[in-house]
Structure 1
Amino acid sequence: MKRPVVLTIAGSDPSGGAGIQADLKTITAFGCYGMSVITAVTVQNTMGVTGVEAMAPDLVAAQLDAVFSDIRPNAVKIGMAVCRETIEVLIEKLTEYRAEHIVLDPVMISTSGRRLLSKDAVDTLIHGLLPLAGLSTPNLPECEALTGQPIRSREDMILASLMLHRQTKQPVLLKGGHMTFSPQDSPEGSFREAAPVDCSDLLRTPDGVRWYRTPLIQTTNSHGTGCTLSSAIASCLAGGLSLPDAVAEAKTYLSGALAAGLDLGKGNGPLDHCFRIKPLS
């Protein structure tokens, strides 16, 4: 049986909740064949990131050559790129091999506040790598850093997504998980702090905008949500879904993995990427 093939390019998380490990679990959960190119080894767990060691750029290039020369992926997910030299390698190789269905999660700062992308790499990311991606999936702080536009409301999300879309000429999924909304808020209304019940993501394409509203899941087991969502979207694109449908399917999966989150570790526990897989009796 031929399976869709998805390549993840990201950093390694030894605790298994984020990065390459979360990506491969997600790709497998969607019935795809997962491959990986490691850009960095991190020292992290559910309590935060305490160390990052970037892979040598020539080793990243060699990994990409090994994959594309043998098993061509149907989709590519990009996570943590760490430095300008690595981003330049990604631009060169993904252009050389004409990679398709690239989903870029612009990992810049960890939840615990550690910088995961060097400052001198941001310009190369914006003007070189983002335009190659068929979709970027920044969260609100990342989009603020990429556009310089403060985001405090739905109107701000609309404006910031437009700014990033004009910069990259590519679709943008702006993740609103850092901001929650009350039911009386219309998609164009203002953010209210009282009684939040849902979070909203905004997909901007050349055809316009589409809101995805999902119930707010009260959980501390949220380690690796961004990695999981972008990998799920890439898997759906590899399987032949349209971009709007891929986002919808990926968000449904993410909600299920969050709701089934695992009480592991002393900090923010991981999602349950295998919640749809029947466990051994």
Structure 2
Amino acid sequence: MSMADGAGRGERRGGERRAAVLVFAGVDPSGGAGLAADLQAVAAQGAHALTVVTALTAQDNDRVHAVEPVAAELLLRQAEALIGKIAIAAVKIGIPGSAANARAIAGLIERLRRLQPQLPVVLDPVLASGHGDLLSRDDAVLALAPLLPLATLLTPNGPEARALTGQTTPGAQAAALRARGCGHVLLTGGHDDDGDVVVNRWYGAGREQLWRWPRLAGQFHGSGCTLASACAGLLAQGLTMERALQRAQQYCQHALADAYAIADGQRMPRR
């Protein structure tokens, strides 16, 4: 084979270009949540995750033992190295790690939107682990304040929606969140006591839609990261909000149904 033949084949193999999702989240050493989950879930939708570290954590598949946010200056250097060269098709935000990091991320999004007003931003408002371990050095609810008005899509579970709004019913929670600037809210029902069914509720511009999914036995590590990142990966490729939500939920349901164990406790979604 000549060098010319090899170069030609290399060009064909490398000809695909994927939409890039700028992801802000923490590092989970267990590989089940945070950036590890985000990267896998985005890739599974056919997009590519650009992973900006917001915090280092000490955690296993059940508990978070320590969180150390990165400095806001380092967060900015990570992101700016990426956006200086790579077109950003969507943004996904997990834990900011600190209020300073949240403000830095908000500033970056505002800059990106000057050139891309319709840039999709998916915010997974993670306030604590499944066992209630805190994931921010600051008050997590207050830290998210500058990011809420920038969210195209917010994906809180029941406890997160109550903490963010003080409201107890899904309709009131969604109304309060949308009043703060969130374009769309997907309230996930995995933490609700609804028997054998999980109800997810989408509240958008003048509409509400429900999805019902069979409740799966056990607990899962990084399920919220998986869903939000799948949404971001699909929105990055131009899907409508309704189609992205439908496909992301289907993907997440299958990943949880086929989850595997690495130890006792929460299982890992097969992303």
* TM-score, normalisation: structure 1: 0.86
Q: Are the aligned partners of 2:62 and 2:221 in contact in 1 as well (CA < 8 Å)?
A: no
Q: Are the aligned partners of 1:61 and 1:89 in contact in 2 as well (CA < 8 Å)?
A: yes
Of 81, 105, 109, which aligns to 1:94?
A: 109
Q: Are the aligned partners of 1:180 and 1:216 in contact in 2 as well (CA < 8 Å)?
A: no
Equivalences, count: 252
State the Cα distance separating 1:119 from its structure 2 match.
Answer: 4.7
Q: Are the aligned partners of 2:124 and 2:225 in contact in 1 as well (CA < 8 Å)?
A: yes
State the Cα distance separating 1:170 from its structure 2 match.
Answer: 1.9
Matched AA of 1:72: A
Q: How does 1:185-196 map to 2 (within 5 A)?
A: 196=195
The answer for the alignment partner of 1:243 in structure 2 is: 241
State the Cα distance separating 1:120 from its structure 2 match.
Answer: 4.2
Q: How does 1:1-281 map to 2 (within 5 A)?
A: 1-98=16-113, 100-120=119-139, 122-126=141-145, 128-150=146-168, 156-181=169-194, 196-220=195-219, 222-273=220-271
Q: Are the aligned partners of 2:151 and 2:182 in contact in 1 as well (CA < 8 Å)?
A: no
Residue 106 of structure 1 aligns to a residue whose secondary structure is coil
- What root-mean-square deviation, in Å, do the aligned CA atoms of Structure 1 and Structure 2 show? 1.4
State the Cα distance separating 1:169 from its structure 2 match.
Answer: 4.5
Matched AA of 1:117: S
State the Cα distance separating 1:214 from its structure 2 match.
Answer: 1.0
Unaligned runs of 5+ in 1: 151-155, 182-195, 274-281
C-alpha distance 141-229 of structure 1, shift in aligned 2 (>3 A): same
Q: Are the aligned partners of 2:47 and 2:234 in contact in 1 as well (CA < 8 Å)?
A: no
Q: Are the aligned partners of 2:155 and 2:187 in contact in 1 as well (CA < 8 Å)?
A: yes
- In structure 2, C-alpha distance between the alignment counterparts of 1:64 and 1:175, rounded to whole Å: 29
Residue 109 of structure 1 aligns to a residue whose secondary structure is coil
Q: Are the aligned partners of 1:87 and 1:121 in contact in 2 as well (CA < 8 Å)?
A: no
Q: Are the aligned partners of 1:137 and 1:172 in contact in 2 as well (CA < 8 Å)?
A: yes
State the Cα distance separating 1:47 from its structure 2 match.
Answer: 2.3
* TM-score, normalisation: structure 2: 0.89
Residue 35 of structure 1 aligns to a residue whose secondary structure is strand
Q: Are the aligned partners of 2:177 and 2:185 in contact in 1 as well (CA < 8 Å)?
A: yes
Unaligned runs of 5+ in 2: 1-15
Residue 115 of structure 1 aligns to a residue whose secondary structure is coil
- In structure 2, C-alpha distance between the alignment counterparts of 1:75 and 1:231, rounded to whole Å: 10
Residue 200 of structure 1 aligns to a residue whose secondary structure is strand
- In structure 2, C-alpha distance between the alignment counterparts of 1:124 and 1:33, rounded to whole Å: 27
- In structure 1, C-alpha distance between the alignment counterparts of 2:193 and 2:88, rounded to whole Å: 36
- Give percent identity, aligned residues only: 37
Cα displacement string for residues 66-91 of structure 1 (whole angstroms, at most 9, x for unaligned residues): 11111122111100112110011011
- In structure 1, C-alpha distance between the alignment counterparts of 2:121 and 2:182, rounded to whole Å: 14
Matched AA of 2:181: T
- In structure 2, C-alpha distance between the alignment counterparts of 1:120 and 1:257, rounded to whole Å: 32
Cα displacement string for residues 85-124 of structure 1 (whole angstroms, at most 9, x for unaligned residues): 0011011111112261110001111112111134545335
Q: Are the aligned partners of 1:107 and 1:117 in contact in 2 as well (CA < 8 Å)?
A: no
